[in-house]
A and B are shown apart, each in its own frame.
Chain A
Amino acid sequence: MMVRRLGFVLLLTAGTVPTLAAQTSVYGVRGLGFPGRPLTARTRALGGGLGAFDPASPINPAAIAGVTQVTAVAVAASDFRGHEIGGVAVGGLNATRFPLIGIAGRWQRHRIGYALSVAQYTDRSFDITIADTVSLRGTDVAVVDRTISAGGVSDIRGVLAWAPSGRLRFGVAAHAISGSAKLTLSRQFADSAYRSFQRVNEEGVTGLGVSAGVVWAPVSGFQLGLAGRYDTEADIVIDSAAAGTVELPAGVVAGMLLAPHPSLRWATTFIWRSWSDADADLTGRAFDTWELGSGIELGGAESGGSRVPLRLGVRYARLPFAPGDEQAHELDLAVGTGVAFAGRRGLLDFALERAFRDGAGASERAWQVAVSLTVRP
Chain B
Amino acid sequence: MNRRVKHPMWLGALAAVALGACKEDLVAPGEGTCPAFCPPEQVALVDSVLSGAIASDSVFDGYVLPWEAGGLHLLTHAGGATPTSRGVVKVLAFGERLLVTAGDTTTGPIVATDSFSVRATVLSRGGTGLELHVHRLPVTLDSTVSFETLDDSFADSTRVGMLAIPDSVVEGDTVIVRLDATGFPTFEADGRVVTLGLAVTSPGDGFVSLGALEGGAALQLIRYVQFDSAGTTVPRLEGRLPLFDTYATPPLPAPPADVLRIGGAPSARTLLRFAIPPRIVDSSRVVRATLVLVPAGPIQGVPGDSLRLIAQGLTTDVGAKSPLLGVHQDTIPTLLVTIPTGSTDTIRLDVTSLVLRWGLNPDRPRAVMVRAFPEGNSVAQALVGSTASATGQPTLHLTFVPPLTLGNR
Residues on A facing B (Cβ under 8 Å):
8, 11-13, 15-16, 19, 24, 26-27, 29-32, 74, 76, 83-88, 90, 93-98, 125-131, 134, 136-137, 143, 145, 147, 149, 183-185, 187, 189, 192-197, 199-201, 203, 236, 238, 243, 246, 281-284, 323-324, 342-343, 345-346, 360-362, 371, 373, 375, 377
Judge whether B404 is part of the interface by a CB distance below 8 angstroms: yes
Given A136-B45, A185-B43, A375-B12, output 7 extra A-B contacts at Cβ < 8 Å: A26-B33, A30-B409, A83-B28, A128-B34, A184-B406, A283-B40, A283-B409
A-chain residues with CB within 8 Å of residue B7 when the two chains form the complex: 342-343, 345-346
A–B pairs, 27, beta carbons within 8 Å: A24-B26, A84-B32, A85-B36, A85-B37, A90-B28, A93-B25, A94-B25, A127-B26, A128-B29, A129-B27, A129-B29, A130-B34, A136-B45, A145-B42, A147-B38, A149-B39, A185-B39, A187-B43, A196-B287, A236-B407, A281-B409, A282-B409, A283-B40, A346-B7, A362-B36, A375-B8, A377-B8
* Neighbouring A residues of B375 by C-beta, 8 Å: none
Query: Taking CB as reference atom, which chain A residue is nearest B6?
Result: A342
Please indicate the chain B residues that have their CB under 8 angstroms from the CB of A377 in the complex. 4, 8
Would you call B37 and A26 a contact (CB within 8 A)?
Answer: yes
Whether a CB of chain A sits under 8 angstroms from the CB of B356 is yes
Contact of A15 with B407 in the complex, beta carbons under 8 Å:
no
What's the Cα separation between A284 and B40 when bound, in Å? 9
- Is there a chain A Cβ closer than 8 Å to B11's Cβ? yes
Q: Which residues of B contact A126 (CB under 8 A)?
A: 26, 28
Interface residues of B in 35-80 (CB under 8 A from A): 35-43, 45, 47
Smallest Cβ-Cβ distance to A87: which chain B residue: B32
Distance between Cα atoms of A246 and B399 in the complex (Å): 35
Closest CB in chain A relative to B349 CB, distance in Å? 12
Asked whether B104 is an interface residue with its Cβ less than 8 Å from the other chain, the reply is no
Q: How far is the CA of A26 from the CA of B213 in the complex (A)?
A: 68
Q: Which chain B positions have C-beta within 8 A of A197?
A: 43, 285, 287, 401
Residue among B31, B47, B285 with max Cβ neighbours from chain A (10 Å): B31
Tell me which residues across on chain A come within 8 A of B287, comparing CB atoms: 187, 189, 194-197
C-alpha gap A281/B407 in the complex (Å) = 12
Asked whether A128 lies within 8 Å of B285 as measured between CB atoms, the reply is no
Q: What 1/0 flags go to B107-135 for Cβ under 8 Å of A?
A: 00000000000000000000000000000
* Cβ proximity bits B1-29 to A, threshold 8 Å, 1 near / 0 not: 00110011001101110110011111111
**Cβ–Cβ contact A76 & B19, under 8 A:** yes
For chain B, give the interface size range: 35 or more
Closest 4 CB pairs of A and B: A88-B32, A130-B30, A342-B7, A183-B406
Bound: A13/B27 CA distance, A: 29
In whole angstroms, what is the CA distance A88 to B38 when docked?
Answer: 15
Asked if A130 contacts B31 (CB within 8 A), the reply is yes
With both chains docked as a complex, state the minimum distance between the C-beta of B134 and any C-beta of chain A, in angstroms.
46
Q: Quick check: A76 and B31 within 8 Å, CB to CB?
A: no
List residues of chain B with CB within 8 A of the CB of A196. Answer: 287
Task: Return the chain A residue nearest B355 by Cβ.
Answer: A195
Q: CA–CA, A13 to B45, complex, Å?
A: 47
Assess whether A137 is in contact with B397, with CB atoms less than 8 Å apart: yes
Out of B16, B41, B334, B352, name the residue touching A185 (CB < 8 Å): B41
Cβ–Cβ contact B408 & A128, under 8 A: no
How many Å lie between the Cα of A17 and that of B164 in the bound state? 83
With a cutoff of 8 Å between Cβ atoms, the chain A residues found around residue B28 in the complex are: 26, 83, 90, 93, 126-129
Across-interface contacts of A195 in B (CB, < 8 A): 286-288, 352, 356
Q: Contact between B407 and A199 (Cβ–Cβ < 8 Å)? A: no
B residues touching A (Cβ–Cβ < 8 Å)?
Answer: 3-4, 7-8, 11-12, 14-16, 18-19, 22-43, 45, 47, 285-288, 334, 350, 352, 356, 397, 399, 401, 404-409
Q: Is the CB of B406 within 8 A of A238?
A: yes
Chain B residue at smallest Cβ distance from A24: B26
A-B Cβ contacts below 8 A, count: 188
Chain B residues within 8 Å of A236, by CB: 407
Which B residues are in CB contact (< 8 Å) with A193? Answer: 288, 350, 352
Alpha-carbon distance between A185 and B41 when the two chains are bound, in angstroms: 8
Q: A301 to chain B: closest CB distance in Å?
A: 16
Q: In the complex, how many angstroms separate the beta carbon of A17 from the nearest chain B beta carbon? A: 11
A83–B26 CA distance with the chains assembled, in angstroms: 12
The residue of chain A having its C-beta at the shortest distance from the C-beta of B356 within the complex is A195
Residue of B nearest to A143 (CB): B43
Residues of A within 8 Å of B404, CB to CB, are 185, 199
B38 touches A12 (CB 8 A): no
B401 touches A125 (CB 8 A): no
Asked, given contacts A93-B28, A136-B47, A195-B287, whether A32 binds B356 with beta carbons under 8 Å apart, the answer is: no
**A130 vs B35: C-alpha distance when bound (angstroms):** 11
Contact indicator A238/B286 (Cβ below 8 Å): no
User: Given the complex, which residues of B lie within 8 Å of A12, measured CB to CB?
Assistant: 12, 15-16
Bound CA span A283–B26, Å: 23
B11 touches A373 (CB 8 A): yes
Residue of A nearest to B42 (CB): A145
Chain A residues within an 8 Å CB radius of B15: 12-13, 74, 373, 375
CB contacts (< 8 Å) of A281 on chain B: these are 409
**Interchain CB contact (< 8 A) of B407 among A84, A201, A375:** A201
Assembly CA distance A137 to B346 (angstroms): 15
Which B residue sits closest to A23, measured CB to CB? B26
Asked if B11 and A97 make an inter-chain contact with CB atoms under 8 angstroms apart, the answer reads no
Contact A323 B30 (CB under 8 A): no
Q: How far is it, in angstroms, between the C-alpha of A323 and the C-alpha of B40 when the chains are bound? A: 10
Partner among B22, B27, B40, B285 whose Cβ is within 8 Å of the Cβ of A97: B22
**B45 in contact with A283 (CB, 8 Å):** no
Shortest distance between the CB of A36 and any CB in chain B (Å): 16
Q: A201-B406, A282-B409, A373-B18 are in contact. Are A145 and B26 (CB under 8 A)?
A: no
Q: How far is the CB of A237 from chain B (nearest CB, A)?
A: 9
**A134 contacts across to B, CB distance below 8 A:** 45
Chain B nearest CB from A47 CB (Å) reads 25
Residue of A nearest to B409 (CB): A282
Q: For residue A362, which residue of chain B has the nearest CB?
A: B37
Contact B22 A76 (CB under 8 A): yes
Known: A187-B43, A373-B18. A88 touches B24 (CB 8 A): no
Asked whether B37 lies within 8 Å of A145 as measured between CB atoms, the reply is: no
For B36, the closest partner residue in chain A by CB is A323
- Contact between A283 and B30, CB atoms less than 8 A apart: no
Q: Say yes or no: A185-B406 contact (C-beta < 8 A), given A29-B37, A126-B28, A129-B27.
A: yes
How far is the CB of A190 from the nearest CB of chain B, in Å?
13
Residues of B close to A371: CB separation below 8 A: 18
Q: Which residues from chain B contact A16 at a C-beta distance below 8 Å?
A: 19
Which residue of chain A is the closest to B30 with respect to CB atoms?
A130
